[in-house]
Structure 1
């Protein structure tokens, strides 16, 4: 998997995946902001990653999914690095044949075993850097 992030301006970047799909990354203040910040994208990624597996698991169990919404919020450290100290997701399922206990069990399984984004928050990641002089 590969992603390229390009500088647009001091607080605005553009991410592009291997298929050429673009996402605007915007760290400007609320009055100027027109996109998600990196931390907002992380919360969306955790929510979407879990949601896909939860819905697919429910459907595999032949449950009816009329609607599924994930409301996610997080608390961050005050000091740098401003990493998340808590992420809370509320899973709101509209289904005539699924009990809350079933959803809780599936959600726990998905977050512990299948959601790669949630798992990535629990591991040490190796980073490397490269500097090129283009002049």
Structure 2
């Protein structure tokens, strides 16, 4: 897997992936940016959210669970001093579907957060990661 990040101007950059997709990132105005794109550290959180969502949905489909909506809500804390790494990350999974089995959802979430989601496991080397889920009716 390879990516390219190109500086455009000020603090705006464009990231391009091997799969042919691109995303604009920018810094806040107090750092010379124009707030025209997502922040790079936000991208890390979105990356783990996407990674774990794909894992959980894939696992639940294999378990014949009918999911209608799924949301991974991620909150985090960062160190106050440089490097301002993530120190705490919490993921709340909000799931809605038909006759979802609590044990199967729990297993799918745990498999993703403890085994399959590489991005989450990498960040877990420096941050305390917790998670929970709620099945909505």
What TM-score results when the alignment is normalised by the length of structure 1? 0.83
Deviations 1:9-64 (A, max 9, x none): 23111101123311111112399312111111111110110001101111111110
- Mapped to 2, the partners of 1:72 and 1:122 lie a distance apart of 14
Q: Which structure has more RCO (C-alpha within 8 Å, separation ≥ 6)?
A: 2
Offset, 1:105:
2.4
Stretches of structure 2 that go unaligned for 5 or more consecutive residues are 127-137
Runs of 5+ consecutive residues of structure 1 not aligned to the other structure:
125-135
Deviations 1:80-101 (Å, cap 9, x if unpaired)? 0010001111100002222344
- Bigger strand fraction: 2
Match of 1:69 in 2: 71
Q: What RMSD, in angstroms, separates the aligned Cα atoms of the two structures?
A: 2.0
May I ask how many residue pairs the two structures share in their alignment? 124
Which residue of structure 1 lines up, in the alignment, with residue 42 of structure 2?
A: 40
